[in-house]
Amino acid sequence: MALLPEKEDPEESRAPVNFLSVTDAVAIIVGIVIGAGIFKTPSVVAASSSSEAVMLGTWIAGGIISIIGAVCYAELAGAYPHAGGDYHYLMRAYGRVPAFLFAWTRMAVIQTGSIAMFSFLVGDYASEVFRLGPLSASVYAVIIVVSLTCLNICGIRQGKNMQNILTAGIITGIMAVIAAALSRVSFPFSIETAQTAPSSIGKAMIFVLLTYGGWNEASYLSSEIRNPGKSMVKVLVYSIGTVTLIYVLFNFILLRELGMHAVSASEAVGADLLRKMAGQYGAYFIGIMVIIAALSTINGTIITGARSGFALGRDFAVFGFLGKWKEGSNTPVNALLVQGGISLILVGIGTMSKSGFEMMVEYTAPVFWLFFLLVGVSLFVLRRREPFVHRPFKVPFYPLTPIIFCLFCLGMLYSSIVHTGAGALAGLAVLGAGILFMLKKSIRREAARPVPRGEEGLS
Q: What's the pLDDT tens digit per position in 149-181?
A: 999 988 878 887 888 888 888 888 888 888 877
Query: What's the confidence (pLDDT) of residue 356?
Result: 45
Instruction: Name the residue with higher pLDDT: 317 or 359.
Output: 317
3-state class (DSSP) for residue 387 = coil
Q: What is the DSSP string of 62-100?
A: HHHHHHHHHHHHHHHHHHS--TTTHHHHHHHHH-HHHHH
pLDDT band with cut points at 50, 70 and 90 for residue 427: confident
Lowest mean pLDDT segment, chosen from 267-276, 341-350, 367-376, 443-452? 443-452
Query: What's the confidence (pLDDT) of residue 407?
Result: 92
pLDDT band with cut points at 50, 70 and 90 for residue 148: very high
Lowest mean pLDDT segment, chosen from 10-19, 308-317, 347-356, 421-430? 10-19
Give, in order, the Cα–Cα distances in Å from 334 to each of 2, 106, 219, 307. 18, 16, 20, 10
Query: What's the confidence (pLDDT) of residue 192?
Result: 52
Query: What's the confidence (pLDDT) of residue 234?
Result: 85
3-state class (DSSP) for residue 115 = helix
Q: What is the pLDDT of residues 382-394, one digit of tens each?
A: 999 999 998 888 8
Instruction: Name the residue with higher pLDDT: 377 or 267.
Output: 377
pLDDT band with cut points at 50, 70 and 90 for residue 347: confident
Query: What's the confidence (pLDDT) of residue 358?
Result: 56
Q: Which CATH architecture has domain 21-83+103-353?
A: Up-down Bundle (1.20)
Query: What's the confidence (pLDDT) of residue 402?
Result: 93
Question: Domains of the chain: which residue ranges?
Answer: 21-83+103-353
Query: What's the confidence (pLDDT) of residue 58?
Result: 92
Nearest CA to 63 among 327, 290, 249, 283? Answer: 249
Instruction: Name the residue with higher pLDDT: 352 or 259.
Output: 259
The whole-chain average pLDDT of the chain stands at 79
Nearest CA to 263 among 419, 45, 36, 38? Answer: 45
Dihedrals φ, ψ of 445, to 5°? Answer: -65, -40
3-state class (DSSP) for residue 390 = coil
Q: What is the pLDDT of residues 56-109, one digit of tens each?
A: 999 999 999 999 988 898 899 888 887 778 888 998 999 888 888 888 888 887
Give the mean model confidence (pLDDT) for residues 128-139: 80
Query: What's the confidence (pLDDT) of residue 145?
Result: 93
Is the confidence at residue 375, as pLDDT, over 90? Answer: yes
Query: What's the confidence (pLDDT) of residue 361?
Result: 64
Is the confidence at residue 147, as pLDDT, over 70? Answer: yes
The answer to whether 118 touches 305, Cβ cutoff 8 Å, is no
Alpha helices in 155-197 (DSSP H): 156-182
Is the confidence at residue 364, as pLDDT, over 80? Answer: no
Query: Measured between alpha carbons, how far is 223 from 239 in angstroms, rounded to an integer?
Result: 18
Orientation of helix 357-385 relative to helix 400-418, angle to 10°: 150
The answer to whether 219 touches 73, Cβ cutoff 8 Å, is yes
